[in-house]
Amino acid sequence: MVIKELGSDIVEFSRSVGWYSHKKVAIFGLYFETGKSLVVEVLKARRGTYQKPFLHAGMVLLIATAVLSTPIIVNQYPTAAAANTLAASISPSAVLNAATDISSVETETRESVKPRRDVEEYEVKGGDTLSSIAKKYDVDVDSLAYLNNMTVNKLLQPGDIIKIPPVSGVVVTVRSGDTISTLAKKYNLASAQPIVDWPYNTFVNDETFSLAAGQTLVIPGGTPPEEAPVIPKSVRTQSLFAGGTGQFLWPTNGILTQYFSWYHPADDIANSIGTPVVAADSGRVVTVAYEGYGYGNHIIIDHGNGYQTLYGHLSRINVGEGDNVGRGQQIGLMGSTGRSTGPHLHFEISQNGGRVNPLSFLK
């Protein structure tokens, strides 16, 4: 009975606590809603009150920024008055001349600085010279003259077509047997490296740098080989030809580097460039040739008794066709022209049209 009454009391107590809590929460909610509504109404009523202070503060900040930044802006850009003064001091003709000068500089720069790969053609205009054209294209005048097979002082005519090399140096057509080493030596380079370094040169084999006959090769920094001077007829030897003796002197001094054979019907005598070469016997000069291949610069002497002698790869020739020469007379200088790998004399003796071993005749 006691337990039953205790349980009933607990239930009643719980109901009372629940009712009381609900009532207090409801009262708190009512107060909260009332307070919130009041705050909202106040804010709505005063929402425009702070507009003017905000705007005033913003304008003050903007003015302060402008005042502080004015010296910097003035230093960076001229004032309107200064700009007007400067514009007034520059005449229209000065502006036009400056624009023309800039245009001409840009044009010259495009023509001279732009890298060129191949030989170009240029049509000569009035007043052009080889020197002015060379300067225009940033190449030396000797390179320009050599490529066009003319002297540096040649007068040009408007309408002439001039070939322009891509760089100062020599542009050559490769012949059979040419190598980068022989071409470097022929065109006065210390080594063949500039030929390899020119980016537009091509090779049959990139490892051995072999060349193909007929290809065009640029030799940067190369200079034309020294041409043997043509001796005027008035100073040539005009002695009477008495015929050869049949006894042949050694035509030069040096070392025998290659002997007579069926594929090389001559003796090669090597020495330094410029070593004197003499006529092995008296006779008449029947051939003087300046060639960039084969025998190179060479002489043929007819001795009038069925014998002829040939002197090849000379660097200089001192006689002309038709000259009579005596036994032991100097006729030229040793060189390395034509198909040659180094300075030497290629010496042949022919008997009645057939080439014979020179060592059988030399004394």
Bridge-based pairing state of the strands 120-123 and 161-164 = antiparallel
Confirm whether 122 is domain-assigned. Answer: yes
Enter the tokens of residue 109.
């720069």
* pLDDT for residue 123 is more than 70: yes
DSSP code at position 231: P
Same structural domain, 110 and 125: yes
Enter the tokens of residue 39.
């705050």
CATH number at residue 255: 2.70.70.10
Q: Length of the chain, please?
A: 363
Q: What are phi and psi of 358, to 5 degrees?
A: -60, -30
Mean pLDDT of 266-293: 93
Query: Any idea which residue has 């802006």 for tokens?
Result: 73
Domain boundary residue, one of 164, 181, 202: 164
DSSP E strands in the chain: the ranges are 120-123, 161-164, 169-173, 216-220, 255-258, 267-270, 276-278, 283-289, 298-302, 307-312, 314-317, 324-325, 330-334, 344-351, 354-356
Contact between 280 and 251 (Cβ < 8 Å): yes
Same structural domain, 318 and 238: yes
Q: Which has more pLDDT, 260 or 229?
A: 260
What per-residue confidence (pLDDT) applies to 60?
77
Confirm whether 274 is domain-assigned. Answer: yes
Domain count across the chain: 3
Same structural domain, 119 and 187: no
Query: Any idea which residue has 């020119």 for tokens?
Result: 198
Same structural domain, 128 and 183: no
Range of the domain at 346: 233-360
Provide, rounded to the nearest whole percent, the portion of the chain with pLDDT above 90. Answer: 40
Same structural domain, 203 and 115: no
Contact between 358 and 348 (Cβ < 8 Å): yes
Q: What are phi and psi of 61, to 5 degrees?
A: -65, -40
* pLDDT for residue 44 is more than 80: no
What are the tens digits of pLDDT across the range 141-185?
Answer: 898 888 998 887 778 889 999 999 999 999 999 998 899 999 999
Confirm whether 41 is domain-assigned. Answer: no
- Chain-wide mean pLDDT for the chain? 79
How far is Cα 78 from Cα 70, in angstroms, rounded to an integer?
A: 12
Side-chain half-sphere exposure of 331, counting CA atoms within 13 A: 36
Same structural domain, 243 and 134: no
Q: Which of 63-77, 78-92, 150-164, 219-233 has the lowest mean pLDDT?
A: 78-92
Q: Give Cα 84 to chain centroid, integer Å.
A: 48
Same structural domain, 290 and 237: yes
Q: Which of 13-27, 203-217, 332-346 has the lowest mean pLDDT?
A: 13-27
DSSP code at position 281: S
Confirm whether 39 is domain-assigned. Answer: no
Confirm whether 253 is domain-assigned. Answer: yes
Same structural domain, 201 and 137: no
Enter the tokens of residue 78.
């001229």
Q: Which has more pLDDT, 15 or 148?
A: 148
* pLDDT for residue 317 is more than 90: yes
Same structural domain, 256 and 302: yes
Same structural domain, 212 and 246: no
Enter the tokens of residue 304.
């009038």
How far is Cα 154 from Cα 171, in angstroms, rounded to an integer?
A: 20
Domain boundary residue, one of 128, 143, 164: 164
∠ CA 322-325-327 to the nearest 5 degrees? 155
Side-chain half-sphere exposure of 9, counting CA atoms within 13 A: 6
Residues 176-204 as b/e (b if ≥16 CB within 10 A, e otherwise) read eebbbebbbbbbebeebebbeebeebebe
Q: Which residues contact 183 (CB under 8 A, 6 or more apart)?
A: 172, 174, 192, 195, 217, 219, 222
Same structural domain, 122 and 183: no
Confirm whether 190 is domain-assigned. Answer: yes
What per-residue confidence (pLDDT) applies to 73?
59
Does pTM top 0.75 for this prediction?
A: no
Same structural domain, 269 and 338: yes
For residue 260, give the amino acid letter. Answer: F
Q: Radius of gyration (Cα) for the chain, nearest Å?
A: 50
